[in-house]
Amino acid sequence: MDNPAAKYLWGPLRGLTGKRNEQTMLLVLSVVVGVLCGFAAVLLKQAIHWIYAGIVLRSVEASGFSWLYLFFPGAGMLLSLLLVRYLIRDNIGHGVTKVLVAVSKNESKIKSHNMVSSLATSALTIGFGGSVGAEAPIVYTGAAIGSNLGRYLGLSYRSMTVLLGCGAAGAVAGIFNAPLAGVLFTLEILLFNLSMTHILPLLLSTVSATLVSYLCLGQVTQFACALTPFSLRNVPFYLILGIVCGFCSCYFIRTTLALEDRFSRMRSPYLRWLLCSAALGLLIYLFPPLYGEGYGDLMPLLGGLVPSYDSPLAFFMDRPWTIPLFFLLIVLLKVFAMTFTNAGGGVGGTFGPTLFIGAMTGYVVSASLNLISPELVPTPNFVLVGMAGLMAGVMQAPMTGIFLIAEITGGYELLIPLIFTAAISYGTVRFFEKYSIYTKRIAQTGELLTHDSDQAVLTLMKTSTLIENDFLPVNIDAPLSALVKAVSASSRNIFPVLDGKGRFQGYVPLESIRKEMFDPSLYETRHVYNYMYSAPEYIFEDESMDSVMRKFEKTGAWNLPVIRRDRTYLGFVSKSKIFSAYRNELRDFSRE
């Protein structure tokens, strides 16, 4: 621990714990992280409210022009775009995915500016009406708080990862007042292989964050609803809801990623902003619930009411059969509104839209069933359960969906349909999508930590740390005499062959020259290229360990050369070095 300030802070903490033990320290630090994340969540909530009430609502009321609602989202996206482009100068979108990459690829280190930047830009985006959620940015903020505190105090990778998880869990708990959901979110989505000894820091962090939120904002149920007691006769209808949520989840994942790929091809960020803000404004004009997070539009549905909207499509609300169609269009178009917001420069997550679409899906299913037979199913129940169903499918985190919805609605009396619908939705989407909205992209690069300990350890291992460079290289045109000198000076039995620019050409095994190296008459007539073999495969310095192991398995080789993309030689990686590093990593990974 070389940081003087960090050494200074250890003193009081050591006095509290009686010894310098990181496991004990984590308990204290988890509370600190939880408190900080609780305040961050409160600040984000209040900032969004201040921007909306102090700027958007006041401007509309003062001018009398309600059409300003169509332009404010674009303004928020532009402000966020300028802030990111000229001040932050870093990509801060897709917060949960960034946290996953930090854990698997960057030793759980997150840049310090993310403790503030995600919070500020998401407040601008959502406060002005961007159709995204605040949850992913606050998770990124919380994870950054935990990561930077651990790094500042010089903690080990394992302890810093736990603090990162405490930050993410505390952020979810603080934004939703849902401590158990915060713990489950971290375990299901972020940190797959934490041991039981690390559950306590997560619990302390989430409880601390929730208490801070209670103290600042009051102990209020976020989604109060009029629930009907669970009835066994509704089980077949919850089965239908679960299947529908599974297909909606598949649509959500694939459409979102396809749209993001399409917009990423546009080089000009300002042209992208112009197109996205215009498209988002048009969608909000036609479907007002797409404005902002949309949580306010869920309250009438949870109360068993049918809201009315000032829209050119308001005639849909005049006929019973067209009402579900109107909300079905909202379900389908919310994905577009969310992607327009993020692609246009806004910063926000998919967490909120997932809850919104889940609620709308529950309403569409219940309203359709009730058209077949009046009062066949309780609509508020289906709206609530639909949230859990879509969370289980889109995030592939059924436990998080079940207990988050139960906590934020006070709906524990619907625990059975929540579990049943979430399980069906999760099972349905897994037929089509192996990975969640957060993990699909990074899984394709081999950088995803999974519940499989072996695979997780391989993901954490880095090729660059396993390179052995004590092999003596020889020039491809050098005579045999130069090769013999290299043999006498080396303890290795492989000699990399390079050209004049240091690019790898092949290798010479000791066995290939053993018979001729003792014949001086061949020293100047034979050359290195006469004995050279081509490598069966090449390994790149930034290649994933999973890919490296596949190459070893395919070739049956014991050593493979490591090169840069321009073929510059760096060294060799051996199976024995990989196995040794794997055993060490697995021991550390599994340590209680």
d(CA 131, CA 138) in angstroms, rounded, equals 16
Question: CATH number, domain at 186?
Answer: 1.10.3080.10
Is residue 528 a part of any domain in this protein?
A: yes
Write out the two tokens for 478.
Answer: 């050098």
% of the chain exceeding 90 in pLDDT: 51
List the one residue out of 563, 543, 559 whose CA is nearest residue 502.
563
What's the distance, CA 94 to chain centroid? 6
Instruction: Give pLDDT, residue 137.
Output: 93
| Mean pLDDT in residue range 257-285 | 93
For residue 507, give the DSSP letter.
Answer: E
- Does the structure show a pLDDT above 70 at 438? yes
Mean predicted confidence (pLDDT) in 518-523? 83
Go through 2-25 and write b for each residue having 16 or more CB atoms within 10 A of its CB, e for each that does not. Answer: eeeeeeeebeeeeeeeeeeebeeb
pLDDT of residue 92: 86
Task: Assess if residue 224 is contained within a domain.
Answer: no
Asked if residue 223 is part of any domain, the answer here is no
> How many domains does one find in the chain?
3
For the segment 295-322, the average pLDDT, to the nearest whole number, is: 86
First-to-last CA distance in the chain? 23
Q: Best-predicted range by mean pLDDT among 100-109, 153-162, 264-273?
A: 264-273
| The pLDDT of residue 271 is above 90 | yes
| CA distance linking residue 18 with residue 131, whole number of Å | 50
More confident residue, 581 or 58: 58
In this structure, are 506 and 542 located in the same domain? yes
Which one, of 335, 332, 338, 331, lies nearest residue 359 by Cα?
331
Same domain flag for 38 and 123: yes
Same domain for 193 and 317: no
The range of the structural domain enclosing residue 51 comes to 4-217
Average pLDDT for 134-139? 92
- Asked if residue 56 lies in contact with residue 128, where contact means CB atoms within 8 angstroms, the answer is yes
CB 143 within 8 A of CB 171: yes
The pLDDT value given to residue 192: 57
Candidate from 359-363, 544-548, 580-584 with smallest mean pLDDT: 580-584
Q: Could you tell me the CATH number of the domain that includes residue 471? A: 3.10.580.10
Judged against a pLDDT cut of 50, whether residue 55 lies above it is answered with yes
Q: Which has more pLDDT, 41 or 198?
A: 41
Are residues 406 and 263 both part of a single domain? yes
Measure the CA–CA gap between 590 and 592, rounded to whole angstroms.
Answer: 6
Give the least confident one: 147-161, 232-246, 355-369: 147-161
Residues 378 and 418 occupy one common structural domain: yes
Residue-level pLDDT at 592:
45
Q: Of the candidates 458, 437, 592, which has an alpha carbon nearest to the alpha carbon of residue 105?
A: 458
Residues 410 and 476 in one domain: no
Whether residue 225 lies inside any domain: the answer is no
> What gap in Å lies between CA 227 and CA 440, rounded to an integer?
36
Q: Tell me which residue has tokens 């013999």.
A: 484
Confirm whether 470 is domain-assigned. yes
Domain boundary among 429, 448, 467: 448
Which of 223-232, 398-407, 550-559 shows the lowest per-residue confidence on average (mean pLDDT)? 223-232
Quick one: pLDDT band at residue 194, thresholds 50, 70, 90? low
Question: Do 461 and 441 share a domain, yes or no?
Answer: no
Of 468, 466, 462, nearest in space to 545 by CA? 462
Residue-by-residue DSSP string for 150-182: HHHTT--HHHHHHHHHHHHHHHHHHHHT-HHHH
| Boundary-marking domain end, from 169, 185, 217 | 217
Q: Are strands 494-498 and 504-509 parallel, antiparallel or unpaired?
A: antiparallel
Task: Say yes or no: 244 and 193 in one domain.
Answer: no
**β-strands 494-498, 474-475 pairing:** parallel
Q: How far apart are the C-alpha atoms of 183 and 266, rounded to whole Å?
A: 38
Longest dimension (CA), the chain: 102
Q: Is residue 401 part of a domain?
A: yes
Whether residues 435 and 484 share a domain: the answer is no
209: Cα within 13 Å, side-chain hemisphere: 40
Q: Which of 69-83, 414-428, 572-586 has the lowest mean pLDDT?
A: 572-586
Where among 415, 448, 481 does a domain terminate? 448
Q: b or e along 141-150 (b: 16 or more beta carbons within 10 Å of the residue's beta carbon)? A: bbbbbbbbbb
- Arithmetic mean of pLDDT, 32-51: 95
pLDDT one-digit tens code per residue, 480-514: 888 888 888 888 888 999 998 889 999 999 888 88
3-state secondary structure of 435: coil
Contacts of 148-155 with CB under 8 Å at 24 or more apart are: 148/110, 148/112, 148/115, 149/29, 149/32, 149/33, 150/29, 150/108, 151/109, 152/3, 152/5, 152/6, 153/1, 153/3, 153/6, 153/9, 153/10, 153/29, 154/1, 154/2, 154/3, 154/6, 155/22, 155/25
Q: What are phi and psi of 477, to 5 degrees?
A: -95, 0
**Within-domain flag for 243:** yes
Based on the fold, state whether residues 125 and 238 are members of the same structural domain.
Answer: no
**Amino acid at position 294, single letter:** G
Please give, one letter per residue, the 3-state secondary structure of 71-108.
CHHHHHHHHHHHHHHHHHCCCCCCHHHHHHHHHHHCCC
pLDDT band at 458 (very low <50, low <70, confident <90, very high): low
pLDDT band at 17 (very low <50, low <70, confident <90, very high): very low
Q: What percent of the chain has pLDDT over 70?
A: 91
Does the structure show a pLDDT above 90 at 34?
A: yes
Does 226 reside within a domain?
no
| 183 and 81 fall within a common domain | yes
Q: Both 498 and 530 in a single domain?
A: yes
The dihedral of CA 295, 44, 341, 179: what is its sign?
negative
